[in-house]
Amino acid sequence: MNNKNIVITIARQYGSGGKTIGEMLSKELNIPYYDKDLMKLASDDSGINEALFNKADETIKNTSLFKAAKKVYQGELIPPESDDFTSNENLFNYQAKIMKELAETESCVIIGRCADFVLKDYDNVLSVFIHAPEDFCKEQAAKKHSMPEKELEKFIAKTDKRRAEYYKYHTGREWTDARNYDLCLDSSKLGFERCVEEIKAYIAVRFRQ
């Protein structure tokens, strides 16, 4: 890309194809794609076991939901001598630290993990939300999971609820609020390839590429 690196963050409803769109985009633009590998990088950086990152990935323990105060991310890290060093908050803090380092050093695609919020003050970041109607998401999810329709519906609803709660907990915002994103795309209307084209077109206009 031109003189400045560009980061595309993708939040996605389960079954909407956001992950696939992110992978296609990274191939087309020839830039790295980060999803679960963020946890490996955060583990290496913090020295905290990667299994703990995996366990906390895009979920929060229900107990923490009932605390009135949300742990909105402020950019801090908890030191190793603290009892909270391996808390979900600090696992999030370290992932956020990695995302910021990436935004400062390279062009890439980052999937989920509140990246739009963490990087909201960076002018080289384009945030995208991929969504689709329930039937489309079910159809896509059925390609990966063989389970009865009712179970699939529950699985999708549970996954999206978990992502929404995780987002609210760490950002204080509603996950599906269009105001959080630069671009909201319905993948059922456009198809995955056209979504990639739309994102590229937006990059061209906004960053004058």
CATH code for position 152: 3.40.50.300
What integer pLDDT is reported at residue 2 of this predicted model?
A: 41
Given this model, what pLDDT does residue 4 score?
A: 83
Q: Are 163 and 112 in contact (CB under 8 A)?
A: yes
In a domain, 151, yes or no: yes
What is the C-alpha separation between 182 and 178, in angstroms, rounded? 8
**Mean pLDDT of the 62-82 span:** 70
- Residue 2 is assigned to a structural domain of this protein: no
How confident is the model over 156-191, as pLDDT tens digits? 999 999 999 999 989 999 999 999 999 999 999 999
Closest CA to 13 of 149, 110, 108, 112: 112
Hey, is 75 helix, strand or coil? coil
Return the pLDDT at 19: 95
pLDDT grade, residue 62 (50/70/90)?
low
Q: Is residue 1 part of a domain?
A: no
Tell me what pLDDT residue 127 has.
98
Per-residue model confidence as pLDDT tens digits over 25-47: 999 999 999 998 998 999 999 99
Tokens standing for residue 110: 């980052």
Whether 61 is covered by a domain: the verdict is: yes
User: Tokens standing for 168?
Assistant: 């609210």
Question: What pairing do the DSSP bridges indicate for beta strands 33-34 and 108-111?
Answer: parallel
Q: At 72, is the secondary structure helix, strand, or coil? A: coil
Q: 84 falls in which pLDDT band (50, 70, 90)?
A: confident
Q: How sure is the predictor about 66, in pLDDT bands with cuts at 50, 70 and 90?
A: very low
Q: What is the pLDDT of residue 133?
A: 96
Does 131 map to a domain? yes
Amino acid identity of residue 81, one-letter, is E
pLDDT of amino acid 149: 87
Confirm if 126 and 7 have CB atoms less than 8 A apart.
yes
Domain count, the chain: 1
Kindly report the average pLDDT of the chain as a whole number. Answer: 89
Query: What pLDDT is stored for residue 68 in this prediction?
Result: 44
Token pair for 72: 């909105």
Domain of 173?
7-206
User: What is the longest distance spanned by two Cα atoms in the chain?
Assistant: 51
Q: How confident is the model at residue 1 (pLDDT cuts 50, 70, 90)?
A: very low
pTM of the model: 0.89
What is the spatial distance between Cα 202 and Cα 24, in angstroms, rounded to a whole number?
Answer: 16
